[in-house]
Amino acid sequence: MTIYADNAATTKMSRTAIDAMLPYMEEIYGNPSSLHSVGQRANEALADARKRIAACLGCETREIIFTSGGSEADNHAITSAAYLGEKQGKKHIISTAFEHHAVLHTLKRLEKEGFEITLLDVHENGLITAKQVSDAIRPDTCLVTVMYANNEIGTIQPIEEIGAVCRERGVLFHTDAVQAAGHLHIDVKAQNIDMLSLSAHKFHGPKGIGALYAKRGIRLTNLIEGGAQEQGRRAGTENIPAIMGMAAALEEACAHIDENAAKVSALRDRLIAGLAEIPHGILNGDAVHRLPGNVNFCFEGIEGESLLLLLDDKGVYASSGSACTSGSLDPSHVLLAIGRPHEIAHGSLRLTLSEETTAEEVDYVIQAVRNVVEYLRGMSPVWRDLASGKQQFVTK
């Protein structure tokens, strides 16, 4: 039995998405910029895909720009807003400590260019509040960028309220909705969102394609110079097959969003309940304001990479925020941001489910995790010290 529980990393493509792509590889392979029929057919498809994606987000067609994925969309949105702000003498940006690196590293670069960055602290439950944003806004603030839902611990931020604060104060608001799109309702107008990033492979679409929504009137800075594609805002021949796959996948996800959320969150809660029975473990992130498919635990006395390798042997594909899996010396910045000590953060496990996950699989995962945690604790000197009382447990 193999169980794919790493859907926050990427998803399996849906049949609908694959079928939507194939004609644009085999028959309608023209360049949308070409004047001949096969080019123009591709161009029509492109316009249609843009319209359908805009409909899913509640925006206008021309407000959608296709990108190579979520990271590019984040880079594009943040860089553009920063340079717009700079022109008005506003060089302060607000974000949070647990954003994706596509956001954090872009902000790091802007900081080197002279921008001032405020990273809001995240509460232990993995949430920030609109009040925190409001309190941090200054006359020279040009952008607030807060993720819709966190990629590691799945917590859902009060986007609509944050958007309202930004709108009231006249500050641009961008949200990295890479984990949310296709899983949570998005209506950029109602939610006061000025810019939003999404990535197709997080909702059963293809990899290497994403979109940026930018409200009409926001002048974007080109990251890629070249031809006049995307209304001159993003050069390069459009990846039509991937765009068609993304449009189909997003439409399908949005059409079933409530039933999928109900089904997957029931499985999530079953998994959380099962893992909560393992002593000295703790759920990371709020249990309620949480993506339907996200489960993230820390287990004391063990290290995440060895946990993943042994789960892999049992056919369970998961991920972890331990330093060993990140390739750096520090464990996940998200777990540190919610106040988990290093020692505990190394023992993290993220399991992210999809509509295809079954209750039987969830039960198998619970048993597998239980066995592996117990086995690793059995050879851990840290666990020995905790169990003998030489060291204090952090969790219950």
- Name the site residues for other proteins (rule: CB under 8 A): 301-306, 309-310, 312-313, 322-325, 327, 329-331, 341-343, 346, 378-384
Indicate the residue among 184 and 382 with the shorter CB distance to other proteins: 382
Query: Are 84 and 142 spatial neighbours (Cβ–Cβ below 8 Å)?
Result: yes
**Closest distance to other proteins from the beta carbon of 63 (Å):** 42
Query: Residue 118's closest CA among 147, 138, 88, 148?
Result: 138
CB of 62 to other proteins, least distance (A): 45
CB-CB contact of 174 with 197 (8 Å):
yes
Packing angle of the helix pair 359-378, 304-313 (nearest 10 deg) = 130
User: In sequence order, what are the beta bridge partners of 279?
Assistant: none
Nearer to other proteins, 1 or 329 (CB): 329
Partners of residue 283 on adjacent β-strands: 297
**Strands of 92-96's sheet, edge to edge?**
64-67, 210-214, 195-199, 172-176, 141-145, 92-96, 116-120
Closest to other proteins by CB, 195 or 345? 345
Q: Closest CB to other proteins among 66 and 383? A: 383
Say which of 56, 59, 142, 324 is annotated catalytic: 324
- On whether the CB atoms of residues 182 and 355 are closer than 8 A, the answer is no
Distance CA 200, CA 217 (A): 25
Q: What span, in angstroms and rounded, lies between the C-alpha atoms of 354 and 6?
A: 9
Q: Which C-beta is closer to other proteins: that of 76 or that of 346? A: 346
Minimal distance, residue 383 CB to other proteins, in Å: 7
Output the smallest distance, CB 301 to other proteins, in A: 7
- Rounded to whole angstroms, how far apart are CA atoms 242 and 200? 9
The DSSP code sequence of 28-68 is ----TT--SHHHHHHHHHHHHHHHHHHHHHTS-GGGEEEES
As a 3-state breakdown, the chain gives helix, strand, coil percent values, each rounded to 5, of 45, 15, 40
Closest CB 380 distance from other proteins, rounded Å: 4
CB-wise, 245 or 331, nearer to other proteins? 331
d(CA 260, CA 244): 22
Annotated catalytic residue 298 = no
For the bound state, the minimum distance from the C-beta of residue 339 to other proteins, rounded and expressed in Å, comes to 15
Would you please indicate which residues are annotated as catalytic (active-site) residues?
324
